[in-house]
Structure 1
Amino acid sequence: MLRGVDLTVEPGSLVGVTGENGTGKTTLLRTMVGELVPERGAVHREGQIGYCPQESVVNLLLTVSQHLELFRVAYGLTDTGYAQELLEELGCAGAMRQRAGTLSGGTRQKLNLVLALVHRPALLVLDEPYQGFDWDTHQRFWRLARTFRDAGQAVVVVSHLLDDLQHFDTVYELRDGVLREGVRHR
């Protein structure tokens, strides 16, 4: 159960949330994006949100290209060019004709991430978005995260990896339902 959570994520910031398993990190993110409603308190959001949950939300029967088209229509985008650029940046541009169900777990997660980013949201909420990535793709992810931050987007990432802490401007630890600010890097 979350209690004592007060978090403001400013545009142009890269924020990390850490904590042991079962401490409520995913609950916090789901509340941030409006998937869960808090019993008390309030959540204020501005602009569009991109949410990449830990579990892939892709349709296993659709191809990568069909996913991009579906999200293009849903967000009213003129084309899928930006999504294709993101896939290329993540090293999986060659998977456009493959059904999601035939993709490796890491490539499926890349698609999951791209679908959260395709509409260039003001706030990116990412729950361990790089699960299944190889080291090269993991590094590509962090380059992208810095690019988003530098472009003025607010980025929140749940991470368990100590090596990731260096990438964040601010790190929060969730313990016993309370969110505490840890280290400031920027």
Structure 2
Amino acid sequence: MEVTGVYHGYGSRHVLRGIDLKLPLGRLVGIVGENGAGKSTLLRILCGELRPNQGTVRHRGRFGYCPQQAILNDALTVRQHLMYFRSAYGLANLRHAEAIMEELRLGAYADERAGLLSGGTRQKLNLTLALMHDPEVLLLDEPYQGFDWDTYQRFWDLADRLRTAGRSVLVVSHLAYDTERLDELWRLDDGTLSPTATVSA
């Protein structure tokens, strides 16, 4: 993914002021910023939900997006969500989704309605839906909120395996957790992105 000269505002309020970002294959990158810094606006632009006032975003290959707020149908079970997204993605089977569910310990809830799931379990489903079509580029907005410690560690192990498999992973958060796991860390402040020191080789 390559982002060049992205500007966006709401009326007279300038939220993004010339964002440039490259997300190469096989990199795990973080963006941190305070609440209201423009992180959600940037992610909406990166995933194509919002058109910037100026600038370009180029994707190569499939991408997955895990929003901060899980968009689920509370009346459907976990399995029904998977079947719906399988059809939307045009997948031949659910093998990849089932492997992710096993990794996140979600399989036991396959026949539970989403409305009965805890916040952390809903987030596991949210992440599974973003990953089940094996995207080359993955955009994650506060992906581990609600996770217990074990699931939190499993998330980072999964992110590391995705990087090793040549995927591009962008994690956006309001706090810089586990920065030693990242290849790059950027800070979004006053509408601009600035790099911090490279945090891994």
Could you tell me the TM-score, scaled by structure 1's length? Answer: 0.97
* Aligned partner (choices 77, 88, 98) of residue 91 of structure 2: 77
Deviation at 1:164, TM superposition (A): 2.1
Cα distance in 2 between the residues matched to 1:127 and 1:28: 10
CA contact (8 A) 2:33 2:175 kept: no
| 3-state DSSP of counterpart to 2:56 | coil
Q: How many residue pairs align between the two structures? A: 186
Runs of 4+ in 1 over 3 A off after TM superposition: 160-163
Aligned to 2:80: 66
1:86 aligns with 2:116: no
In the alignment, which residue of structure 1 is the partner of 2:194?
Answer: 180
- RMSD between superposed Cα atoms in Å: 0.9
Residue 86 of structure 1, CA deviation: 0.6
Select the residue among 153, 161, 186 that pairs with 2:167.
153
**Residue identity in the other structure for 1:151:** A
Decide which structure has greater strand share: 2
Higher relative contact order, chain-length normalized (CA < 8 Å, sep 6+): 1
Q: Percent identity?
A: 54
Cα deviation, residue 112, structure 1: 0.4
Gap change, CA 1:41 and 1:163, over 3 Å in 2: closer
Counterpart of 1:43 in structure 2 is 57
Distance, in Å, in 1 between the alignment partners of 2:176 and 2:55 is: 31
**SS of the residue aligned with 1:43?**
strand
Structure 1: where are the runs of 5+ without partners?
none
- Look up the match of 2:36: 22
Superposed, which structure 2 residues align to 1:71-150 within 5 Å? 71-150=85-164
Match of 1:34, SS state, is coil
